[in-house]
């Protein structure tokens, strides 16, 4: 016998909940639903009673899921149906609002005032799917070999300084940690520190 779930819509979650709490509530409810689905796939029969409906509405309104031992499969199924309907309603409101704004901008784009037309067209161009007027910075990263960079540096040095040959030590360090700063700067370790008497 198929289960017929008829959720009641229009029961909003309380306003004092954070998005994280709502997400956590939704995940817990869905985990319970998956458990019931697994039981149903093994042949368990589930029916939704008026008590299950009342309990699922209470859970939805208080956003508190009692321990699983206190829940019936019918309550869990009805709660999942309510949450699915609520998810769809939220998505539908967002979609309708987006269509409304887009239609209003299209209507404004035919305004006789050129400033109004341009502003409406600019806002239409900023819609996520269009993206004509979005400010975007493209960053291109090109990877070059050390020899290519050395060749370019030699060309630059030849052009500006007359340097035609640069030789490197074979034991050139490969990282900053391998560089001896005192040796590179020509300082020896036995010099007096500034401000000390000899």
pLDDT greater than 80 at residue 113: yes
Find the mean pLDDT for residues 44-63: 85
Spans of all domains in the chain: 19-110
Mean per-residue pLDDT of the chain: 76
**Distances from the Cα of 36 to the Cαs of 24, 46, 65, 195, in angstroms?**
19, 9, 15, 80
Query: How far apart (Å, rounded) are the C-alpha atoms in residues 6 and 26?
Result: 19
CB atoms within 10 A of CB 83: 21
pLDDT greater than 60 at residue 146: yes
pLDDT greater than 80 at residue 41: yes
pLDDT greater than 70 at residue 140: yes
The DSSP letter of residue 66 is P
Find the mean pLDDT for residues 125-133: 70
| pLDDT for residue 198 | 45
């Amino acid at each position: 016998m198929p289960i017929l779930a008829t959720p009641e819509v229009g029961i909003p979650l309380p306003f004092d909940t954070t998005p994280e709490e709502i997400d956590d509530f939704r995940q817990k409810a869905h985990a319970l639903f998956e458990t019931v689905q697994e039981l149903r796939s093994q042949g368990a029969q589930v029916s939704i009673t008026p008590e299950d409906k009342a309990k699922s509405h209470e859970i939805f309104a208080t956003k508190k899921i009692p321990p699983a031992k206190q829940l019936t499969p019918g309550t869990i199924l009805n709660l999942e149906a309510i949450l699915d309907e609520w998810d769809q309603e939220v998505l539908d409101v967002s979609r309708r609002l987006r269509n409304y704004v887009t239609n209003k901008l299209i209507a404004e784009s035919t305004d006789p005032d050129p400033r109004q037309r341009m502003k409406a067209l600019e806002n239409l161009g900023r819609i996520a799917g269009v993206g004509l007027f979005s400010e975007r910075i493209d960053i291109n990263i090109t990877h070059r070999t050390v020899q290519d960079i050395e060749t370019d540096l030699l060309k630059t040095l030849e052009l500006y300084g007359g340097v035609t040959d640069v030789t490197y030590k074979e034991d050139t360090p490969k990282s900053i940690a391998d560089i001896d700063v005192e040796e590179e700067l020509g300082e020896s370790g036995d010099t007096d520190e500034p401000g000390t008497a000899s």
